[in-house]
Amino acid sequence: MSKARETYFCLRIVEYTSIPLTVCIIFYIVSGYGMVSPILNIVGLTYSVSAKMHTLPLLRFVTAVLAILHFYGGVMIISSRHVKREKIRELIKLITLVTALILSSLIVLSEFKIIFG
């Protein structure tokens, strides 16, 4: 894949993950505040509702997947724009891919452990 095509693909990844990732993070922030602040009881976010929202396995998994994809795409875009040497860019690509795979593996293993005990 050419550098331009790869950069375009990574830009699409970052664009498509940014809004859903923001929504997931907002859910985490609001539900976290719902657990510690009684003010959010006014809008129905009691402690129990907030705790259920905050610990939803699907929300946790989707947020993690979106964050990893966003991380990978963002690093690839930044490296393609600011790293001039091809060898260093390839090394950054490899390190980023290995990091994303390790994080993904840890998340999947953790979710299996949580779900299946």
Secondary structure (DSSP) of 18-86: HHHHHHHHHHHHHHHHHHH-GGGGGGT--HHHHHHHHT-HHHHHHHHHHHHHHHHHHHHHHHHHH---H
CA distance 89 to 40: 47
Prediction pTM value: 0.87
Each residue's pLDDT tens digit in the chain (117 positions)?
788 899 999 999 999 999 999 999 999 999 999 999 888 888 888 999 999 999 998 999 999 999 999 999 999 999 999 999 999 999 999 999 999 999 999 998 988 887 777
Residue whose C-alpha is closest to residue 42's, from 55, 33, 51: 33
Q: Which CATH number fits domain 3-116: 2.40.50, 1.10.3470, 1.20.1300, 1.10.260?
A: 1.20.1300
H or E element in which residue 10 lies: helix 3-36
Domain ranges of the chain: 3-116
Q: Count of CB atoms within 10 A of residue 53's CB? A: 17
